């Protein structure tokens, strides 16, 4: 996984959303409802294992969960700390690899999350299975794994696939435009994010950020979840803007 992509994007990542604060609140409420329905109570420890700048972390703290948040991108983790400080909130933050989660104690979490299409950065079944095994280790018996990913089985493979975000303005009056361009390569695609910032004085900066994804299907992810030992695996299309997969670590024997 290329951390430079997210390190560079972290300061402006919120501008990819039409209204990031609203998305934080909406996703926090939606995820909290799912967690509660699966026996994870407010106050329980939850690991956001691909936290980015904190879209899910901030929303779940507002819902009363005790958050640990990690990401491979130091820039994203730094931005999340700034967001926590600005709100007077607390979470335990660390830079960590989704495949290992080496900073999280075994059996310590009621739930582990990896949202916003983070799993497809892992380019082989072996890497995905490693991430699921690490989540399994971190979960207490009966704990819940929740991931959200694109529904790649429903996406036509067109090259180039141009996906604009639209124009935004930030608090300093800068105009921000971003466009994704996908180029397919078998079951993977290379993503270029063209990021342009127009300043109030007329200066204009443009850069191109690069990343790579594997178009792994939800069915295959569910199979790998089961291989890692998760049970009661289900797909939900009514939680976030991407499909959600849920899996439970079996409870300890009575």
Q: Which domains does the chain have, with CATH numbers?
A: 3-152+216-248 (3.40.50.150), 156-214 (2.20.130)
Q: What are phi and psi of 240, to 5 degrees?
A: -120, -175
Element (H, E) at 144: strand 139-148
Which neighbouring-strand residues pair with 195?
A: 178, 207
- Which pLDDT value is given to residue 2? 73
Element (H, E) at 209: strand 204-214
Residues 44-102: tens digit of each pLDDT: 999 999 999 999 999 999 999 999 999 999 999 999 999 999 999 999 999 999 999 99
Six-digit token pair at 207? 């850069």
Q: Which of 130, 107, 166, 143 is nearest to 230 (CA)?
A: 143
Q: Are 77 and 51 in contact (CB under 8 A)?
A: yes
Residues 94-132: tens digit of each pLDDT: 999 999 999 999 999 999 999 999 999 999 999 999 999
Which neighbouring-strand residues pair with 162?
A: 181
Mean pLDDT, range 222-236, rounded to an integer? 98
Mean pLDDT, range 145-154, rounded to an integer? 98
Rounded Cα distance between 189 and 210, Å, is 11
- Which pLDDT value is given to residue 240? 96
Element (H, E) at 181: strand 175-185
User: Checking phi first, is residue 3 left (phi over 0); if not, alpha (psi -120 to 50) or beta?
Assistant: alpha
Residues 150-195: tens digit of each pLDDT: 999 999 999 999 999 989 998 889 999 999 999 999 999 999 999 9
Q: Are 112 and 80 in contact (CB under 8 A)?
A: no
Rounded Cα distance between 221 and 227, Å, is 10
Rounded Cα distance between 230 and 222, Å, is 9
- Which pLDDT value is given to residue 252? 79
Six-digit token pair at 152? 């790649």
User: Checking phi first, is residue 222 left (phi over 0); if not, alpha (psi -120 to 50) or beta?
Assistant: alpha
Q: Are 44 and 140 in contact (CB under 8 A)?
A: no
- Which pLDDT value is given to residue 1? 65
Confidence check: pLDDT of 254 > 80: no
* pTM recorded for the entire structure: 0.95
């Amino acid at each position: 996984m290329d951390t430079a992509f997210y390190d560079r994007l972290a300061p402006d990542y919120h501008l990819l959303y039409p209204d990031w604060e609203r998305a934080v609140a909406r996703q926090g409420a939606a995820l909290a409802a799912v967690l509660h329905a699966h026996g994870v109570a407010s106050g329980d420890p939850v690991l956001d294992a691909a936290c980015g700048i904190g879209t899910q972390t901030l929303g779940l703290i507002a819902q009363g969960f005790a958050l640990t948040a990690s990401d491979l991108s130091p820039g994203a983790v730094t931005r999340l700390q700034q967001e926590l400080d600005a709100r007077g909130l607390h979470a335990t933050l660390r830079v960590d690899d989704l495949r290992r989660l080496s900073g999280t104690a075994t059996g310590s979490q009621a739930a582990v999350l990896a949202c916003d299409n983070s799993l497809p950065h892992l380019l082989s079944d072996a890497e995905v299975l490693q991430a699921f095994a690490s989540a399994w280790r971190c979960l207490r018996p009966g704990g819940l794994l929740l991931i959200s990913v694109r529904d790649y089985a429903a996406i036509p493979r067109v090259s180039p696939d141009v996906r604009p975000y639209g124009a935004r303005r930030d608090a300093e009056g800068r105009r921000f435009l971003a466009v994704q361009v996908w180029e397919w390569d078998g079951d993977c695609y290379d993503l270029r994010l063209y990021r342009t910032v127009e300043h109030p004085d007329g200066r204009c900066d443009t850069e191109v950020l690069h990343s790579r994804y594997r178009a792994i299907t939800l069915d295959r992810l569910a199979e790998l979840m089961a291989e890692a030992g998760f049970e009661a695996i289900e797909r939900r299309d009514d939680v976030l803007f991407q499909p959600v997969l849920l899996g439970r670590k079996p409870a300890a024997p009575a």
